[in-house]
Amino acid sequence: MAVAGGSAGHTLAMIYAYRDGKDADVPVVMTYGDVGPSSFHVEDWSIFGIGRNTDESRKAGAALFTVMSGQMITPEEIQNQSYLQKVKAIAAEWVKNNPIPTVVAYGAHDRVQPFAASKRLEKA
């Protein structure tokens, strides 16, 4: 099976492919999609003012990553980096478990999905 999606659907497709795909009843052999957030490290989201080591930046990061991950993340967790345990299920963290063929599209000048966040996926 090939799984695909756009934006949040692309993220879900990648998570399923990399985390669960090899053990699925119908194994995933390929994934493709566009602009799916694939990592949630504060330094990758600077276009939103996140990762600047200020109270405001930590609050913004906590709010965004809470929505994106579905788990409560606090500004304190952003500051001490313990939030990373909560967002590790995002796609780029799972590639090493099941590195299946992947075709993705990201825009270097995208103002919604930061291009820097896609670089972790590329590296993985």
What Å distances lie between residue 9 and 17, 36, 37, 46, CA to CA?
12, 7, 9, 23
* Cα(39)–Cα(107) distance, integer angstroms: 15
The structure's pTM equals 0.78
pLDDT at 51: 85
pLDDT at 31: 93
Ramachandran angles phi, psi of 11, nearest 5°: -60, -45
| Structure confidence at residue 8 as a pLDDT band (50, 70, 90) | confident
Predicted confidence (pLDDT) per residue in 74-121, tens digit: 999 999 999 998 887 676 777 877 788 999 999 999 888 889 888 888
How confident is the prediction for the chain on average, in pLDDT? Answer: 89
- Among 28-32, 51-55, 65-69, 83-87, name the most confident range: 28-32
What does the domain layout of the chain look like in residue ranges? Answer: 1-39+90-124, 40-88
